[in-house]
Amino acid sequence: MVAQIYAQIKGEFGALVEPFTLHSPLPGLVAGAWSACRESLLVGSVRRDIKEAVAATVSRINRCPYCVDAHTIMLNAASAYSSASSISHGRDDQIQDPAVRSIVAWAAATRSPGAEILLSPPFSREDAPEIIGTAVFFHYVNRMVTVLLSETPLPVNHQWLKGPLKRVAGWFFSRAVRRPKPLGASLEFLPETELPADLGWAETAPNIAGAFARFASVIDGIGRDLLPAELRACVREHMQAWDGKDPGLGRHWVEPTLNGLNEASKPAGRLTLLTAMAPHHVNGSVVHDFARHFPGDDKLLGALAWASFTSARRIGRWLSIP
């Protein structure tokens, strides 16, 4: 299955890139992640540059420089050079295309529940599943990338070289961006399942609903198999009160939340809470402490995915359909 997914990624995304391959120790997870990304970002009726602008802006507010670079490259691949440069440098008011400028303002507010632009979003009901799906997926994958990958997909991280390198990389991906892609082609990798109520924003687009239902089913199964029920309940309860803001410097807020857990569960609680709310604070000691109790790359990957998707689902709940 992973070989078949890799072939589809190469043909439709343009290359076998790390944000997908990092999921590969769990084949069902790479299938779900690819499907959720493909069906919301790569296919459909919404312009690709608009959705890439959502991906890049969500990545910027999550402080994920790898994904900002990756998706401003894809904006270049879609010939949206002004949008790519403006988003990279945080100069959103200089975006020339008004449709992109308004969607960037919306994406930049997706961690601010109750923001006026979230209550009256700048897209139609018909376009909502593609745009919200793209935002929700990137709130998920930014956390995975922040913990597991480096700061850029480019061969160097010098600012003065990034512009030319992004143009070259955009040219490389441009054919794949423009290649026609059928709806729903990624759904074959996982069995059909029911869409959870909190992902109801996807229900009017069968391919996106199918992708996120499958992705949620895989991650929920991983959580049940890997993490104790009381730990999952603790994290979910804490996330219910989360308003999208960074919890601040340090990790002082984590330990009181874990008081009700036994000592064996606390390392997993620490890793999942930090990944969900402050992935920049996940360091080697947090990972090593988790690995002493849950050895194996598959367990680390599963815990990170469960936490990241729990956070992304929470954000999806406050994104409005027109």
E strand or H helix that includes residue 281? none
For residues 30 and 5, is the Cβ–Cβ distance under 8 A? yes
CA–CA distance, 276 with 278 (Å, rounded to integer): 6
**Residue linked to tokens 């391959």:** 21
Letter for the amino acid at 157?
N
DSSP run (H or E) holding 52 = helix 48-61
Task: Kindly report the number of other CB atoms within 10 A of residue 67's CB atom.
Answer: 25
Q: Which residues are catalytic?
A: 67
Q: Which helix (H) or strand (E) holds 285?
A: helix 284-293
Please answer whether residues 22 and 161 qualify as being in contact, where contact means their C-beta atoms are separated by less than 8 angstroms. Answer: no
**Short-list 187, 291, 222, CA closest to 29:** 222
Q: What is the maximum alpha-carbon separation in the chain? A: 55
CA atoms within 13 A on the CB side of 44: 29
- The rounded distance, in Å, linking the Cα atoms of 60 and 68 is 6
Residue 32's nearest CA partner among 199, 228, 269 is: 199
In angstroms, the CA 282 to CA 153 distance is 20
Listed in sequence order, the residues at least 6 apart from 107 whose beta carbon sits closer than 8 Å to its beta carbon are: 53, 54, 57, 58, 61, 135
Ramachandran area for residue 250 (φ above 0: left; ψ -120 to 50: alpha; else beta): left
